[in-house]
Amino acid sequence: MRKKIVAGNWKMNKTFTEADDLLFEIKEIISENPINGVELVVCPPAPFLELATDVAEEVDIHVGAQNVSSFSKGAYTGEISAEMLESIEVEYCIVGHSERRKFFGETNADVAKKVEQLLEFSITPIVCCGENLEEREAGNHFDVVRNHIEEGLFHLNEIEIQQVVIAYEPVWAIGTGKNATSEQAQEMHSYIRKLLLEKYGNEVAESISILYGGSCNAKNAFQLFANIDVDGGLIGGASLKAAEFIEIANSF
Ligand code: PGA
């Protein structure tokens, strides 16, 4: 059985005190009502990762970073390596988010290198793929996603690919309040699983968690997660409030 995962991508939000408060609220809620059968992941900004890994020692949450360097170490001012993340017990890392592709020029080739760095330190990459509105309207969404997956991930072998989580995030749904419909999500998730099947075989394809992201919230999570190929969510805005984030994680 593949893992169900709900991951909160805080993006560039929260000060130290606010991050501390949000983590405290999450801790309070889940110590009273533990979440069953779902891996809860928080991805705060890098300066607050250790705050989160401290909380992860007390309650059942997992910590993810939002980015990692494609280099391993040395003279790369401003970069954070996979080894550094591993040294503070970070277990996940988002890679290839559309905001990084758009604002920081991250390419599929960068994604491929970052994934390799993370796997070397046993950190689970959450690799994002997804089309923008223009691409969907032109009917190119499957090609765009295939390209993200093939170029970002298909250099991995059968063992390595099973350590990866994929997040389908249609760009037109991110932060817009306009989520993909349940049918659109399932259609793309099953397409991604088919690509995995063709490359790695059924057993491997069935073992990989595919998350949906893009305006997923406590109101629509239940419907989205009800799909056979939707194994959870990558949550932006709605992960900034503890109660709603936990409600989403309880939406299976
Ligand atoms: P959103 O962001 O939930 O605010 O749409 C999702 C994401 O970008 O990961």
With a threshold of 0.85, does the pTM exceed it?
yes
Report the pLDDT value the prediction gives residue 110, as an integer from 0 to 100: 98
Evaluate whether residue 252 is within a structural domain: no
User: Which residues of the chain carry a pLDDT beneath 50?
Assistant: none
> 208 CA to middle of ligand 1, Å?
21
Evaluate whether residue 19 is within a structural domain: yes
Evaluate whether residue 27 is within a structural domain: yes
- Domain span holding position 52: 5-243
Query: Which is the catalytic residue, given 99, 131, 169, 244?
Result: 169
**Is residue 148 annotated as a catalytic residue, yes or no?**
no
Report the pLDDT value the prediction gives residue 1, as an integer from 0 to 100: 80
Evaluate whether residue 201 is within a structural domain: yes
CB 67 within 8 A of CB 93: yes
Max Cα–Cα distance, the chain, nearest Å: 48
- Phi, psi dihedral angles at 92 (to 5 degrees): -130, 160
Total number of domains in the chain: 1
Return all residues near 23 (Cβ < 8 A) that are at least 6 apart: 42, 44, 51, 52, 55
Measured CA to CA, the distance from residue 126 to residue 233 in angstroms comes to 11
Report the pLDDT value the prediction gives residue 202, as an integer from 0 to 100: 98
User: Which atom belonging to ligand 1 lies closest to the Cα atom of 174?
Assistant: 5
Evaluate whether residue 248 is within a structural domain: no
> 65 CA to middle of ligand 1, Å?
15
Evaluate whether residue 250 is within a structural domain: no
Report the pLDDT value the prediction gives residue 170, as an integer from 0 to 100: 98
Evaluate whether residue 45 is within a structural domain: yes
CATH of the domain at 157: 3.20.20.70
Evaluate whether residue 249 is within a structural domain: no
CB distance 235 to ligand 1 below 6 Å: yes
